[in-house]
């Protein structure tokens, strides 16, 4: 998430970053963010001034009462200030939420070495590894291979889960597990520590990983609990 201070001090740099990305929707959000932030700072300053005034008035009322004098005028003014503070606190909190929601969806800054282009055709290869293999026979995709070896069932899976799903069975399952174990063992050899994370996360840490407001309707949440089922293992 971008630092709001960075945006305050370098708004044009952040705008140009979005222009390079061709993300006009986020550019509009950035303009709103700048407006919200400006208003938040103005209202926060006003709120602090009202709180300071209330504290002074509270002390003044206490002194008046000690002297046995009538403080009804000052008390009425203090109540008026309290009402203003309550209303302003709601506005400030709402602005803070709006600012955070936008910050969560703004992309990170592009590195200066990233090429600018219209689409994938403008991508610049950094390096290549090997050469694409060439075969003298028609190449089968994984579906054809899976069905031919009878290690995959797409028809039954389609009835259960819909299109684009499949059951993996027999040697297909063993191959899948073998590949997982092979990759895991290779990582251990390189010094990585295997970790199986919790499958649930609280909202606050999750907001540090993704723009939760964008995925609110697609994540599974435990009803009545501040817990979400993780989408992928790298989130926690």
Give strand pairing partners of 201. 228
The CA distance from 5 to 128, in Å, is 39
Residue 204 banded pLDDT, cuts 50, 70, 90: confident
Mean pLDDT of the chain: 90
What would the pLDDT profile of 52-79 be if each residue is shown by its tens digit? 999 999 999 999 999 989 989 999 999 9
- By residue range, what is the domain housing residue 236? 196-236
The answer to whether residue 164 sits within a structural domain is: yes
The number of folded domains in the chain is 3
Do 162 and 187 lie in a common domain? yes
CA 101-102-106 angle, to 5 degrees, is: 125
Residue 214 banded pLDDT, cuts 50, 70, 90: low
Question: Which of 73, 105, 137 finishes a domain?
Answer: 105
Do 133 and 159 lie in a common domain? yes
Question: Which of 194, 210, 226 finishes a domain?
Answer: 194
Do 11 and 100 lie in a common domain? yes
Pairwise pLDDT comparison (225 vs 14), residue with the higher score: 14
Q: Report whether 104 contacts 213 (CB < 8 A).
A: yes
Do 17 and 81 lie in a common domain? yes
The answer to whether residue 64 sits within a structural domain is: yes
What would the pLDDT profile of 149-201 be if each residue is shown by its tens digit? 999 999 999 999 988 899 999 999 999 999 999 999 999 999 999 988 888 88
């Amino acid at each position: 998430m971008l630092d709001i201070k960075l945006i305050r001090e370098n708004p044009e740099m952040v705008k140009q970053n979005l222009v390079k990305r061709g993300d006009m929707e986020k550019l509009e959000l950035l303009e709103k963010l700048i407006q919200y932030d400006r208003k938040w700072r103005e209202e926060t300053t006003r709120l602090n001034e009202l709180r300071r005034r209330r504290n002074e008035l509270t002390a003044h009322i206490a002194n008046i009462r000690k002297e046995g004098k009538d403080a009804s005028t000052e008390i009425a003014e203090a109540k008026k200030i309290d009402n203003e503070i309550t209303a302003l606190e709601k506005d400030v909190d709402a602005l803070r939420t709006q600012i955070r929601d936008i910050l969560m969806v703004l992309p990170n800054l592009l590195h200066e070495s990233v090429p600018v282009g219209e689409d994938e055709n403008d991508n610049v290869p950094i390096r290549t590894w090997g050469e694409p293999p060439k075969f003298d026979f028609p190449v089968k995709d994984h579906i054809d291979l899976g069905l031919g070896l009878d290690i995959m069932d797409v028809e039954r899976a389609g009835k259960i889960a819909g299109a684009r799903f499949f059951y993996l069975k027999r040697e297909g399952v063993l191959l899948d597990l073998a590949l997982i174990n092979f990759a895991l063992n290779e990582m251990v050899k390189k010094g990585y520590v295997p970790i199986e994370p919790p499958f649930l996360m609280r909202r606050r840490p999750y907001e540090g990983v993704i723009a939760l407001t964008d995925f609110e309707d697609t994540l599974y949440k435990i009803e009545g609990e501040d817990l979400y089922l993780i989408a992928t293992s790298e989130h926690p």
